Amino acid sequence: MEFAVDDVVLAITSLTSQRPKDIIETNNYLTAFRLDHSVWPISLTILQNTNVPIAVCLFVLETLKMKLNFDFESIKTSAHFVSNLKSTLYELAKRFVSSKSTLKLSALCISSLVIQSQHYNFIEEIIHIFSDSYENVATSFKILQNIINIFMEKEIIPNSKETIIKKLEKEGYKVLAFLNIWATNINNNKILEGTKVISKRKFTLRVILYIIIVT
């Protein structure tokens, strides 16, 4: 069976408006899609399209989460694709920062990708990419927290797990240094949080609470 971007998007969007019999056929089609190697390039193309509905993004992210956890070997040797996928997921997390479900799935996919690809410079990279607003700084917290949660909960190759732990110990100070610089450069001692304005003191307390929870 061959799959195309438009056909996959149509199948996903039609799930909520079909008759039961048609839904079974569509589910079978999408199940086959998830098992096919074309799921990787098609999913990437869909997520890079800013006009795609959130419902489609959620389906694709759920698919990628599963594939990254259980089928990463099929793309492991394609460094260019892995890098492109990671960049796309970063942009998606920033684009849907106000959608909790989409942001959570994006963070989970980024976390799985970082761990599976043994990309150990993720702290500095994530801080750099998400440093342009309070909302994105908060997003970077969620991604880093997911990375920690995933490798603590999953069975990861011992050597890889030890490497990540050492990397966190060595690079963790960059998170605090970044937060200090970012917070102290905000005008009028205030930080914009969505539609709210909070004081630096509240922001600092949230950061401390976050660190306590994560560690």
Q: Which pLDDT score is estimated for 126?
A: 80
Distance set, CA 131 to CA 84, 116, 179 (Å): 20, 25, 9
H-type helices in 71-133, by residue range? 79-95, 100-116, 122-129
| Cα dihedral 196/197/200/201 (nearest 10) | -70
Q: In this structure, are residues 168 and 148 in contact, taking their beta carbons and an 8 Å threshold?
A: yes
> Distance between CA atoms of 177 and 195, rounded to whole angstroms?
26
The one-letter amino acid code at 53 reads P
Does 26 fall in a domain? no
Structure tokens at 84: 């492109």
- For a pLDDT cut of 70, what percent of the chain falls above it? 64
- H helices present in the chain, as ranges: 5-13, 20-35, 39-48, 54-70, 79-95, 100-116, 122-129, 134-153, 158-184, 200-214
Assigned domain for 160 exists? yes
Q: Do the domain assignments include residue 128?
A: yes
Provide the pLDDT for residue 166. 65
Task: With respect to residue 56, please indicate whether it lies within any of the assigned structural domains.
Answer: yes
Weakest-pLDDT range from 81-85, 110-114, 127-131, 165-169: 165-169
Type of residue found at 39: V
Please check whether residue 98 is in contact with residue 53, taking contact to mean a CB–CB distance below 8 angstroms: no
For residues 70 and 74, what is the distance between their CA atoms, to the nearest angstrom? 10
Tell me if 107 is assigned to some domain: yes
- Residue 80, in any domain of the structure: yes
The structural domain count of the chain equals 1
CA end-to-end distance (rounded Å), the chain: 47
User: In what helix (H) or strand (E) does residue 191 lie, and over which residues does it extend?
Assistant: strand 190-193
| Residue with token string 């994105």 | 136
- Contact (CB, 8 A) for 134 and 191: yes
Q: Is residue 19 part of a domain?
A: no
Please determine, for residue 39, whether its predicted confidence score (pLDDT) is greater than 70: yes
Residue 83 within any structural domain of the chain: yes
Domain that holds residue 194: 37-214
Q: What is the pLDDT of residues 127-165, one digit of tens each?
A: 778 777 767 777 777 777 776 666 666 544 445 556 666
